[in-house]
Amino acid sequence: MGLKKYKPLTPSLRYKISGDFAEITTGKPEKSLIVSTKRSGGRNNTGKMTIRYIGGGHKKALRLIDFKRDKDGIEATVKTIEYDPNRTARIALVCYKDGEKRYIIAPQGLLVDQKIMSGAGASPEIGNTLLLSEVPLGTIIHNIELRPGQGAALARSAGSYAQLTAREGKYAVLKMPSGEVRMILITCKATIGAVSNPDHNLEVHGKAGRRRWLGRRPRNRPVAMNPVDHPMGGGEGRASGGHPRSRNGIPAKGFKTRYKAKASNKHIIERRKK
């Protein structure tokens, strides 16, 4: 899992940096685990644009990922490591002893033909999914559930991970990728290891067209708009635009939008670093 730089044969290649895909073992997905999707282009069911700066992009098939890892006690073998256009991490195709195939988020260091398992009694090795009550303290984990049986919700993107620091009664204390320290029920599941493709954040598109392939349209600055379009628009000449805020008038740059009486506040021990 490294990066690939290009000789500047064209202007767009001068700054382009992409992944080398060295860990990918096949280019064809498992047909039984993909479904077709339709792009919305930022439109709702009546055709009205409700989200700007979305449109176009290459056609993609959705890979069905197993975030629950609920086949407990059944050993699985890693068949392939694959690219997934819908996420930043790599995915792995695993085949269980009973013949069922599933996709999982591939952690760093997962190899083809490696055996993995989930549930009670599984060893704390890379790729195995355990209850937080069984994970050794100090272990690096990812794909963490927020509620038992819900499926992985935290630390799923490329290179991300959390660390189990302590256990207090029925809660486990985790240091999250953002730096936040919070409590999660020990009956929730998590997978051992960090998510694959850690160099993703160092990739450089190199040209605007590559972002269009991803389905992202040009985004214009609020200060360049008219007053009718944005609170920061208008003014004579190159006006700075006033206090930074969203199109709906909600201030940015430090304004707190989190609900003060949110139920999960009591589970947060230390807020994320600003």
What are the boundaries of each domain within the chain?
3-201
77-110 confidence digits (pLDDT tens): 999 999 999 999 999 999 999 999 999 999 999 9
CATH architecture of the domain formed by 3-201: Beta Barrel (2.40)
Query: CB burial class (10 A; 0-12, 13-18, 19+) of residue 79?
Result: middle
Locate 180 and state its tokens.
């936040």
Q: What pLDDT shows up at residue 201? A: 96
Element (H, E) at 18: strand 17-19
139-159 confidence digits (pLDDT tens): 999 999 999 999 999 999 999
Q: Which 3 state secondary structure label does DSSP give 116?
A: strand
Q: Rounded CA gap, 231 and 228, in Å?
A: 8
Locate 232 and state its tokens.
């920061």
Q: Rounded CA gap, 3 and 89, in Å?
A: 14
Q: Rounded CA gap, 209 and 160, in Å?
A: 28
Residues 6+ apart with CB under 8 A from 81: 23, 24, 25, 90, 91, 92, 106, 110, 112, 196
The answer to whether 179 and 130 have CB atoms below 8 angstroms apart is: no
203-260 confidence digits (pLDDT tens): 999 999 999 999 999 999 999 999 999 999 999 988 888 899 999 999 999 899 999 9
What is the C-alpha radius of gyration for the chain, rounded to an integer number of angstroms? 22
* pTM: predicted TM-score of the whole model, two decimal places: 0.91
